[in-house]
Amino acid sequence: MYRWLLRLYPASFRNEYGREMAAVFARERRDTRTAPGMAALWLRVIADTCVNAAAIHWDILMQDLRYTLRTLRRTPAFAVTAVTVVTLGIGATTAAFSLADFVLIRPLPFLEADRLVRVSEERPGLPRMELAPANYRDLKQMAASFEALGAYRGLSVNLVGARQPLRLQGAAMTADVLAALAVRPMIGRPFAAADDVDGAPATALVSYALWQEEFGGDPSIVGRPVRLDGEAYTVIGVMPPDFNFPSRGAQLWTAMRFVPADFVDRNHNYLQGIARLRRDVSVDAARTEMSMLAGRLQQQYPKENEQTGVSVIRLRDGVSPQSRTLLVALLGAAVCVLLIACANLTNLLLARAIVRRREMAVRMALGAGRERVLRQLLTESLVVTGTGGVLGLALAAATLPILSRLVPTALPIADTPAMDLRVVGFAIALTMVTGVAFGIVPLLQHHRDRAGEGLREGARSGGSGREGMRSALVVAEITASVVLLVMCGLLLRALWTIQAIDPGFRLEHTLTARTSLPMPKYETLGARTGFYDRVLSEIRALPGVSSAAYISFLPLGDMRGGIFPVGISGRVESRREDNVAFLRYVTPGFFQTLGIPLLQGRDVRDADRLDRQPVAIVSASFVAQFFPGQEALGRRFDFAAATREIVGVVADVKIRELTGVSEPQVYIPHRQLPDRTYEWFAPKDLAVRATGDPLALVSAVRAIVQRADAEVPLSDIQTLEQLVDGDLASRVTQVRVLGAFAGVALVLGGIGIHGLLAFAVSARVREIGIRMTLGARRADVVAMIAKRSLSLSAVGVGAGIVLAYVSGRWLQSLLVGVSPADGTTFAVAAALAAATAIAGSLRPALRAARVDPVTVIRLE
Amino acid sequence: MRDRNVNADAIAAMLPLLPATFHILVALADEDRHGYAIIQDVAARTDGSIRLSPGTLYRSIQRMLEDGLIVETDERPAPEDDDERRRYYHLTALGTAVAKAEAARLMDLVRMARARGLAPR
C-alpha cells in the first residue's frame, strides 16, 4: 500500500529514498497500536505524500526549465529554427481549423440549431426550388412535423427616415420565421400573427448595425415611422447584433402580409421555407411526411404541381459543395504544413539529441537516472513547442481576418470567425501532442543508447537506421510541399483562366452605381423617364464623360437572374431551360457605354415607345438558339407579355458568371416598359464611361442624383472592374492562402534538407577527410553530397506528383476546366521543390568541399 | 570534511531556513544519524510537537544534499546496531555555518522581541 503511494514521487527520488521511507513508515506503524491511531497515521501519510510529491515534481520542473533555457540560449540557431517551425505549423493549422470549425462544424448561432431545417420544393433537375405561397400555405396547414414553419423572401428597399436615404437588404418574413429560429428582438417585439395579415399596418425590425449607424442607437426607435419604398412603416424592434438571417449583413425585416392574389399562382415560386422540427421528429421523418403531403398536393393540383416534391434539409447543410471542398482543402493544406513542421522538428531534435549524446551519457554516468534525462528532454521539447504554440496562436489570430473572406455568404453567421475557447483549446492540444509526440522520438533514441557508448571519444554519430528515418522525414517534407505547390498552381491556373475570359464588355474607365427608384413613386413610365432623362443628360454633360446609360441589372452584378420564356410561333420546345432568355430593359447608349459591339441593326431609341411596335435587341446567342442560320432582323417572338420584333443583334456578354456559357439575352427599350408592370426590372443600374479616372466622377454624379430626387439613394458605387473583380475575390483569396501554405511548406522543406545534409556532413567530416587524403577531389566530395540531396528530392518529388494528381482530381469542381493533370503546373512545382532542395544543400556541400584533410587526420 | 570553502554570501543566500531544515541540522549537530533517528530526535527535543513526515524529511534531505549542507557518510556504527538499508547523514562545514547563522538570526529576533517586552527576559 505504502509502496503504491510512493509511486507518486518522481522515479529518481523514489529510487534514492523509497526503501528508507518505507522502512521509516514500517517503524511508525509498529509504534502505533490503536486502530484510530492507525487511521490517523494513514491519513497523515497520504496527505504528506501528495504535498511532498507535488513539491518535488515542481522542483524538478523548475530545474529542468532553468537548464532548458540555458541550453537554448547556448544554441540560439536551434532555438529560433525550432520555434519558427512550430509557430508556422501550429499557426496555419489553428487558422484553418477555426475557419472550418466556424463554417462546417460549429452549430449555427440559434437555439438548438440542429432542429432547424430548410423546406423547399423540388422538381426533376431542380433539387432546391423556392416555395409558391399557395403550396407553403397548404403545407403549413397539413404538416405535423414542425413546431413552427415560416417563409421569407429577400428584400431590397429604399429607406427614408434615417439620416440619409438608404438602400437596404433584408427579408420579408412571415410571423413564424422568428418563432422557428427562436430569436427575439433585443428591444421591442417580434412580428405577431396580427402584423402578418392582409391590411395590417406595415411593421419593420431593424438590425443592430443599422440602428447604431443610422439611428444613433436611439432607444426610442420603437414606434418610429420610416418610409420603405414610399410606404409608411413602423419600427417595432431592433434585432440582436449576431442576427445574420437570412444571410450576413441583413439590415431590415418586414412582415410578409400575403394578399389573396399571392395564393393564385402555384408556379410563382419565391419563398424560402424555414422550420423548427418538433423535439421527437427526425429530419428523415419530416422528409417522409413532406413527400406524402407533396403527393397529396400533386393529386389536388395535377397541372400546377406536376412532378413537384418537397425537400427538407438541415439549415447547417446549406454550405455549397464547392465551399466545403475549399475548406477541406484548406484544412488538408494546413495539416500538410503541420506535418512538415513536425517532421522538421523531429529532425532538429534528433540531430540535437545525437550531438548531445555525450552530454547525456556524462549526466547518466554522474548518476542522473534515465527518467531524469527523459524528463529533461521532454521539458525542452515542450518549451520549444509551447513557445511556438503561443506564437502560432497569435499568427492564426492575425491571419483570420484574411481567411474570413472564404466564409460563404449564404450562411446565417457573422463574417469573421471568432477565436474562442474551442480554437485556443485546439491549439493547446495540438501543441501538447506535437511537443510530447515529437519530443519522445529523440528519447527513444536515447533508450537505445547504452550508457557507456556515448562516452567514447569520436563516437560515430547516427547509425544507418537513424539516417534512414531522418531521410524519410525529409522525403515526406518534399512530398508534401510538392502536393501543396501543385494544388496552389492548379488554383492559380484556374484563376488566370477566369481572368482571361472576355466578359463581352469593356471593363476600363467605367463607373457603375445603383439608384434604386422608390415605388410606387416611380411606377409610371412618365416618372421614370423624367428621372432618367434628367440624370443621364446632366451626367453626359460632365467633363470627362463620354457616355452614360441605365439598365435593369448590370451583368455580373448582384442580380444574375431574370429569365423569361421565349415563344416563337411554330416552335415547340420540350425542355423549359432551352426556351428562355434573360430580360433587361435599357436606355439608349447602353451598348456603347459598356462597349458591347452592335453586330446588326440598331440600338434602342427614344422613339421606341409604348404606342409603337414592341422591339427588342437580342444577343448573338439568342439568334443561335432560336433562329439558327437565319436572318434574325425583323423576326418576331413572344417575350415579357408582348410580341416583339428584333431590330438589332449585339455580341454576347457574361451575365451569370465568367465561367459559364453565355445564355440568350433580350434587351428591351425602357420606354416600352408599361406602368406598374415588372417594376423590379425598371432600369436602376447606372453605367458611366469616362475618358479618365471614373472614380473622379463620383461626387459630381452623386450631386446630380441628389438634385434630381433627394429620396433616391445612390449605392454600390464602384468601377466596372471592381464589380467584376468582386466575382473573383474569393478565388484570389483561395490562391493566396494556398500559396502562403505552399510557400511555408517549401521554406520548411528547405530548412529540413539543409539541416539533414549539414548534419550528415559534420558527422562525416572524418570520412571526407580520409577520402580526400586517399585522392578524392573536392568536386567528388561535392558530387557525393549533391547526389544525396538529389536522390532524396527525386523520391520526394515523385511521390508528391502522384499524391498531387490524386488530390487534384478531388479539387476538380474548383478548377473551371483546368486539367488536374496540368503538365506545366506539375513541372513548375517539381522544379521549385527541386530548386529548394538544391538551395538547401549548397552550404553543406561547400562546407564538405572545404574540409582540410590534414587537420582531420591530425585530430585522429 | 573541513575542506569546503565557506562563503558568507552563500550562507546569507540560504537564510531564513525552513523549520524542517533547521531541525535536521540541529539533529545532526552532535552525531551522524539516519532518517528515522532524525525524526525521533526532533520529536524528542520538541516533546513530540514536531514530527517530521517521511516525505518532508527526505525531500529536505535531498535539497540539503544538493546544497551541500549535509553529506552521506560511509562511517557506520557497530554492525549489531546497523541496518544495511539505512543511510547516515553528516553535517558539513557549510551546514554547521548555516545552522549557526540561522541560530544567530533567530537570537537577534528574540532579542528585539525581548527589548519590547514581547518575550520573557
pLDDT in tens, B42-92: 989 888 888 888 888 888 998 898 888 999 887 666 655 555 557 889 999
Name residues 400-429 of chain A within 8 A of B (Cβ): none
Nearest CA in chain B to A25: B54
pLDDT class of B26 with cuts at 50, 70, 90: very high
CA distance A360 to A452: 10
Is residue A490 within 8 A of residue A808, CB to CB? The reply is yes
A-B contacts at Cβ under 8 angstroms: 49
A104-112's contacts with Cβ under 8 Å and 24+ in sequence apart are: A104/A319, A104/A324, A104/A327, A106/A422, A107/A316, A108/A315, A108/A316, A108/A411, A108/A412, A108/A413, A109/A242, A109/A244, A109/A412, A109/A413, A109/A414, A110/A181, A110/A182, A110/A183, A110/A315, A110/A412, A111/A182, A111/A183, A112/A182, A112/A276
Return the residue matching grid coordinates 413537384: A308
> B28 is written with which cell numbers?
545532526
CA distance A23 to B38: 14
pLDDT in tens, A513-545: 988 888 778 889 999 999 999 999 999 999 999
Helices A321-355, A464-499: crossing angle, 10 deg rounding: 150
Of the ranges A121-135, A657-671, B105-119, the best mean pLDDT one: B105-119
Cβ contact, residue pair B56, A48, below 8 Å: yes
Nearest CA in chain B to A14: B58
A209 three-class SS: helix
- Looking at residue A453, the DSSP 8-state letter turns out to be G
Confidence at residue B1, expressed as pLDDT on a 0 to 100 scale: 41
CA distance A195 to A174: 9
Instruction: Calculate the average pLDDT of chain A.
Output: 83
Confidence at residue A722, expressed as pLDDT on a 0 to 100 scale: 82
> A747 is written with which cell numbers?
521554406
Contacts of A575 (CB under 8 A, 6+ apart): none
CA distance A75 to A39: 54
* Mean local confidence (pLDDT), A441-461: 51
Nearest CA in chain A to B84: A20
Q: What angle do CA A782, A783, A787 make, to 5 degrees?
A: 120
A693 three-class SS: coil
CA distance A448 to A698: 75
Confidence check: pLDDT of A672 > 70: yes
| DSSP string across B46-69 | TTTS----HHHHHHHHHHHHHHTS
- Looking at residue A600, the DSSP 8-state letter turns out to be E
CA distance A53 to B67: 20
- State how far residue B118 is from chain A, nearest Cα, in angstroms: 34
Residue A198's nearest CA partner among A259, A152, A261 is A259
Contacts of A245 (CB under 8 A, 6+ apart): A171, A177, A181, A183, A412
Residue of A9, A14, A16, A24 for testing the chain B interface, max B β-carbons within 10 Å: A24
| DSSP string across A114-170 | GGEEEEEEEETTEEEEPBPHHHHHHHHHH--SEEEEEEEEEEEEEEESSSS-EEEEE
Q: How far is CA A179 from the centre of its chain?
A: 30
Classify the phi-psi angles of A9: left when phi > 0, otherwise alpha if psi is within -120 to 50, otherwise beta.
beta
> B12 is written with which cell numbers?
546569507
pLDDT in tens, A320-341: 666 777 777 778 888 878 888 8
- In single-letter form, the type of residue at position A701 comes to V
Torsion of CA A210, A214, A218, A220, to 10 degrees: -80
Indicate the burial class of A295 (C-beta count within 10 angstroms; 0-12, 13-18, 19 or more).
middle
Q: How many CB atoms lie within 10 A of CB A691?
A: 10
Strand order in the sheet with B33-34: B33-34, B88-91, B70-73
Nearest CA in chain B to A55: B59
The 3-state DSSP composition of chain B as helix, strand, coil percent (nearest 5) reads 60, 10, 35
The pTM for the full model equals 0.67
Share of chain A above pLDDT 90, in %: 22
Indicate the burial class of A828 (C-beta count within 10 angstroms; 0-12, 13-18, 19 or more).
middle
Confidence at residue A838, expressed as pLDDT on a 0 to 100 scale: 81
Is residue A684 within 8 A of residue A514, CB to CB? The reply is yes
Is residue A622 within 8 A of residue A584, CB to CB? The reply is no
Residue among B35, B59, B63 whose CB faces A24 most closely: B35
Is residue A252 within 8 A of residue A157, CB to CB? The reply is yes
State the pairing for strand pair A615-619/A642-650: parallel
Cβ contact, residue pair A21, B54, below 8 Å: yes
pLDDT in tens, A676-729: 878 878 898 999 999 989 888 998 998 999 898 888 888 888 888 888 877 676
Return the residue matching grid coordinates 474551442: A422
* Mean local confidence (pLDDT), A630-636: 90
Confidence check: pLDDT of A464 > 60: no
Torsion of CA A757, A760, A766, A768, to 10 degrees: -40
Residue among A21, A27, A45 whose CB faces B58 most closely: A21
Q: By the CB < 8 Å criterion, does A32 face chain B?
A: no
- State how far residue A376 is from chain B, nearest Cα, in angstroms: 18
A96-125: string of b/e by CB count within 10 Å (b at 16+)?
Answer: bbbbbbbbbebebbbeebebbbbbbbbeee
> Which residues from chain B sit within 8 angstroms of residue A49, using beta carbons?
55
Q: A567 has which bridge partners?
A: A638
Residue A238's nearest CA partner among A224, A255, A226, A221 is A221
Length of chain A: 860
Is residue B50 within 8 A of residue B42, CB to CB? The reply is yes
> B38 is written with which cell numbers?
532524525
Is residue B85 within 8 A of residue B4, CB to CB? The reply is no
CA distance A339 to A90: 10
Q: How far is CA A21 from the centre of its chain?
A: 61
Is residue A593 within 8 A of residue A549, CB to CB? The reply is yes
Confidence at residue A860, expressed as pLDDT on a 0 to 100 scale: 56
Is residue A792 within 8 A of residue A478, CB to CB? The reply is yes
Confidence at residue A411, expressed as pLDDT on a 0 to 100 scale: 66
* Mean local confidence (pLDDT), A129-146: 90
Confidence check: pLDDT of A452 > 50: no
Is residue A686 within 8 A of residue A677, CB to CB? The reply is no
Q: How many CB atoms lie within 10 A of CB A130?
A: 18
| DSSP string across A237-290 | EE--TT---SSTT--EEEE----GGGGT-TT---BEEEEEE-TT--HHHHHHHH
Radius of gyration of chain B (CA): 16
Is residue A116 within 8 A of residue A108, CB to CB? The reply is yes
Confidence check: pLDDT of A469 > 80: no
Is residue A242 within 8 A of residue A210, CB to CB? The reply is no
Cα–Cα separations (whole angstroms), residue A242 to A106, A239, A359, A408, A423:
15, 8, 58, 16, 19
Among A185-194, A327-336, A355-364, the minimum mean pLDDT is found in A355-364
* Mean local confidence (pLDDT), A43-57: 87
Q: How far is CA A138 from the centre of its chain?
A: 38
A548 three-class SS: strand
Confidence at residue A270, expressed as pLDDT on a 0 to 100 scale: 81
Indicate the burial class of A542 (C-beta count within 10 angstroms; 0-12, 13-18, 19 or more).
middle
* Mean local confidence (pLDDT), A52-72: 87
Helices A321-355, A76-100: crossing angle, 10 deg rounding: 160
Radius of gyration of chain A (CA): 36
A716 three-class SS: strand
Residue among A9, A16, A52 whose CB faces B56 most closely: A52
Q: By the CB < 8 Å criterion, does B38 face chain A?
A: no
Residue of B21, B59, B82 for testing the chain A interface, max A β-carbons within 10 Å: B59
Cβ contact, residue pair B54, A53, below 8 Å: no
Is residue A23 within 8 A of residue B39, CB to CB? The reply is no
Confidence at residue A462, expressed as pLDDT on a 0 to 100 scale: 44
> Which residues from chain B sit within 8 angstroms of residue A54, using beta carbons?
none
